Chains A and B, each alone.
Chain A
Amino acid sequence: MSDMTGTSDPQVLLSGEPSGEPLEERPRLPITLTVNGRPVEAVIEPREMLLDVLRERLGLTGAKRSCDVQVCGACTVLLDGLPVSACCTLAYEARGREVLTIEGLACDGRLHPLQEAFIDCTALQCGFCTSGMILTAKSLLDETPHPNREQIRAALQGNLCRCTGYWNIIEAVEQAAQAEVQGG
């Protein structure tokens, strides 16, 4: 359940959320999606949020629930490479698409350059916002490999951190961009 990387066997999940409504009145929908490179088949209810499916059914707890109104960015995941608030995105939207969570970022046991840079720069304290920060930064670097400071600030504007004061985070993204250049 917890290992979402490395194998290509589809993971099959059934909707298990207890609910007050009679079962027959709850519409269900079979979907297939890719989570961190691995195919997943799931029977969801249309009302289920992506964050709940990731956290409660796939055991991927890196994306955090905080504001729950798509303001803070703690639940950020990438959907086909673009950041979305998993707390306010229907799991239905992930059908046929690729979801990347923080758990899928390291490759062959090696941390992603952004993860390394966040450690090097002490770009986190409590860590609650970190997965969202890193995934938002990844979508920026995928599109703009050499962002200037203003572009980094603009990209991260929707991700809130209550510990760091942001400077170290911005430095970490700059360092990761340089590391990616050096690493080819």
Chain B
Amino acid sequence: MLAPFRIHEPTTVRDASRLLLEHGDAAAIYAGGTELLLLMKDGLVHYPHLVNIKTIAGLDQVALQDENGSRTLTLGPLLTHRALARSATLREQAPLIAQVAERVANARVRAAGTLGGNLCFGEPHSDPATLLLAWDAVMELTSTDGSRRVPAISFFVGLLQTARQPHEVLTSVAVPLLPAHAGAAYEKFALHERPSVTVAAVVYLRDGAIAQARLAVGSVGPTPLRIGEAEEALAGDRPAESAFSHAAALAARTVSPVDDLYGSAEYKRHLVRVLAARALSAASEQAARRERA
């Protein structure tokens, strides 16, 4: 049985932040519990105070915002994977995010686990983290000090570590909607609940060439990684299989997988190469399709 703890039920983000400040290392944010409770059950962590942020209203919404012609989806941190998968707005505006949510872990984890918890936990095998890193999402962190915005590329800091300070609450995830000449794709390979390899690609085309490509690879290191070398190699290139294979080889060279339950290092490196080429190709094809439509 777990060691005893108290559950606090703040109704505002400010109160949640204040409780986190007050109890310091003795407190943790509690939402879906699908990651936190596993560690607590294993005895790896213990928090005498859990701050349940599910009692704060309004943090489970999908909102579409239009600012100066650039449209952004704002995702609330308390959206469960199931809610993301079923959101009509998300399915219409950024279907890939809904599709990825639909394949996270299993139906029980999807019903309880939240987007915010998944991202803030910093678990290396996170599906949303890999996808949102390639997507250039922006995390809004709020505390008694106010709010700040952290781009995904600066958010994932290390194993189970993010840029979030202990008294900060992730209050929204801003996802820029892709323009008509861009496409996105996600590939994963999973033998267990958590994937062995996750790859996400976003490709922008202009005049038949790749204007910009973003490639993120996850589950094969402490955090998901952007593969800058591959992104640079692709910029300005023709969207051809040879270019994607070359970029995928660079990705496979960049990552440092280890042998574990999810596969041998060699196998995971192979998967990175195969899945990165597939994701880049699919994202590029989608961009071309959207451009024609």
> In the complex, which residues of chain B have a beta carbon less than 8 angstroms from the beta carbon of A88?
33-34, 37-38, 41
Stretch from B102-110, B197-205, B227-235, B277-285 forming part of the interface with A: B102-110
B44 at interface, CB cutoff 8 A = no
- Interfacial chain B residues near A26, Cβ < 8 Å: 4
User: A61 an interface residue at 8 Å Cβ cutoff?
Assistant: no
Which residues of A from 29 to 59 have beta carbons under 8 Å from B? Answer: 29, 45-49, 52
Give CA–CA (A25, B48) in the complex, Å. 11
In the complex, whether A121 has a CB less than 8 A from a CB of chain B is no
Q: Are B2 and A136 in contact (CB under 8 A)?
A: no
Minimum CB–CB distance for B78 against chain A, Å? 14
Asked if A71 meets B4 with Cβ closer than 8 Å, knowing A88-B37, A139-B107, A158-B109, the reply is no
Cβ–Cβ contact B1 & A17, under 8 A: yes
Complex contact A46–B1 (CB within 8 A):
no
Q: How large is the interface on A (under 10, 10 to 19, 20 to 34, 35 or more residues)?
A: 35 or more
CB distance from B269 to the nearest CB of A (A): 26
8 Å CB interface, B79-121 against A:
82, 105-109, 111-112
Which of A77-85, A103-111, A123-131, A175-183 lines the interface with chain B? Answer: A77-85
B41 near A27: Cβ-Cβ < 8 Å: no
Cβ contact within 8 Å between B107 and A70? no
* Contacts of B141-165 to chain A: CB distance below 8 A: none
Closest to A155 in B: B107
Cβ < 8 Å to A, chain B residues 1-18? 1-7
In this assembly, does A8 line the interface, its C-beta being within 8 Å of a C-beta of chain B?
no
Contact of B112 among A21, A89, A139 (CB under 8 A): A89
Given contacts A17-B1, A27-B5, A84-B112, A90 and B37 within 8 Å (CB-CB): yes
Taken together as a complex, chains A and B put the C-alpha atoms of A76 and B5 apart, in Å, by 25
Number of A-B contacts (CB under 8 A): 80
Of B3, B34, B82, B106, the residue contacting A73 (CB under 8 A) is B106
Task: Assess whether B193 is interfacial by the CB under 8 Å rule.
Answer: yes
A46 touches B108 (CB 8 A): no
Q: Which residue of A lies closest to B102 (CB)?
A: A154
* A157 and B5 within 8 A (CB): no
B residues in contact with A25, CB < 8 Å? 4
B51 at the binding interface (Cβ < 8 Å): no
A69 and B50 alpha carbons, distance in the complex (Å): 20
Q: In the complex the two chains form, is B34's CB within 8 Å of A70's CB?
A: yes
CB closest chain-B residue, reference A140: B107
Using Cβ atoms and an 8 Å threshold, which residues of chain B touch A76? 108
Is the CB of A116 closer than 8 A to any CB of chain B?
no
B-binding residues in A (CB < 8 A): 17, 19, 21, 25-27, 29, 45-49, 52, 68-71, 73, 76, 79, 82-85, 88-90, 92-93, 136, 139, 155, 157-159
Q: Besides A85-B108, A158-B193, 11 other CB < 8 A contacts?
A: A25-B4, A26-B4, A29-B7, A46-B7, A71-B192, A76-B108, A79-B111, A84-B108, A85-B109, A88-B33, A89-B112
